[in-house]
Amino acid sequence: MKLKMLLLASVASVGFTGPVVSQDLEPCENCADEMTLVSWGGAYQASQVKAYSEPYAEMTGVTFVWDESSNEAVAKLRAMNEAGNVTWDLVDVVASDGIRLCDEGLARPMDVDAELADAPDGTPASDDFGDLLVSECFIPQIVYSTTAAYRADVEEWGGKEPEDICAMFDMETFPGKRSLEKRPINNMEWALLCDGVAKEDVYDVLETDEGVAQALAKLDTIKDQVVWWSAAAEPPQLLADGEVVLASSYNGRFFSAIEEQGQPFKMLWDAQVFDLDGWIIPEGLPEDRLNRVLHFVKFATDTQRLADQAKYISYGPARLSSAPLVGKHAELGIDMAPHMPTDPENAKNTFLYNYEWWADNRDDLDAKFQAWLAQ
């Protein structure tokens, strides 16, 4: 609950203007000239390129290689570690994966106050990030949500529009194909919520075999109407092509489709699932690569850089000091505050994702979910 209060409070000042903060970049001693960064592709990765890597490359001459494998980060880092050949330098992951990688010794612990920049007023990084530092290896970047969007022009709906997430399971009122992520996270929670389980009881229910069966039974009611996605760029495209009428994805992907591409979608913020995304540094990097990564991370997670990313995509910056610096979209000129998942109007009914629970239970639930998919 404390984390949720912080997330909601952190956006209170978004939309106000503030001073432009510039971090003096110190020389990087014994540093590699190339970095391999792992992210998610699409609009989100593009926002990282614009806010982080392009200005850093201009200042340092470093070459960036991007890999769009974040959805497979845990499995691939396990395999690299087993082979003794870690080729990635910095990896973007969700919080629960960051916790898992840290617990398994595959991610490097951070000395946050020594290795990350203070806020402009001198507030230590540990206080500026606060409760979003959910693991000693996880360096937060953004607050985002998994939410839903729908086509606003479906004739079969007779002028009705979805008002809550349970429309995903209402085939009678809202017929048509849906698109959901091909993993248990979020789907299991929504299924239980829409099967009558109270929000505060969801993870207690999901802890049991009966609860897992209940969630999968609810998903069974729409299974033959679901197009499953693995990359977050897929559902906006499926909606745009008319292949589905209702879909889940990350709020920033839908923002890009609606505001930047003019697609005829509407956001369905109900029961949006708050989550965190950030960096982990693989354990065991050679000294020159590690030095370069630490140099870049200090730059890329300072107050101004996190605020800069929010100018390109509608995700809330993880630092409290960044919020006042976020104003308008860098290219469209529109106010970004109403498009943030943490905006009070959008956050009337949120579901706070329990990343610690998923870090402990992910492998087991993944296996059960994939077995159910194969039936």
Give the residue from 229, 227, 179, 232 showing the smallest Cα distance to 39.
232
**328 contacts 335 by C-beta, under 8 angstroms:** yes
Q: Which residue has the tokens 């998942």?
A: 341
Say what the pLDDT of residue 25 is: 85
Say what the pLDDT of residue 326 is: 83
Say what the pLDDT of residue 23 is: 56
Q: What is the rounded CA–CA span in Å between residue 82 and residue 117?
A: 33
Q: What is the rounded CA–CA span in Å between residue 332 and residue 324?
A: 19
Give the residue from 164, 179, 188, 193 showing the smallest Cα distance to 250.
179
Query: How far from 254 is each of 149, 224, 284, CA to CA, in Å?
Result: 7, 24, 37
Q: What is the rounded CA–CA span in Å between residue 134 and residue 102?
A: 11
Q: Which residue has the tokens 């699409």?
A: 42
Q: What is the rounded CA–CA span in Å between residue 211 and residue 188?
A: 9
CA geometry: angle 315, 316, 322, nearest 5 deg: 135
Mention every residue, 6+ apart, whose C-beta is less than 8 A from residue 137.
98, 101, 102, 107, 108, 109, 110, 280, 281
Say what the pLDDT of residue 119 is: 97
Residues of the chain with pLDDT under 50: 1-22
**93 contacts 73 by C-beta, under 8 angstroms:** yes
Say what the pLDDT of residue 8 is: 43
**284 contacts 85 by C-beta, under 8 angstroms:** no
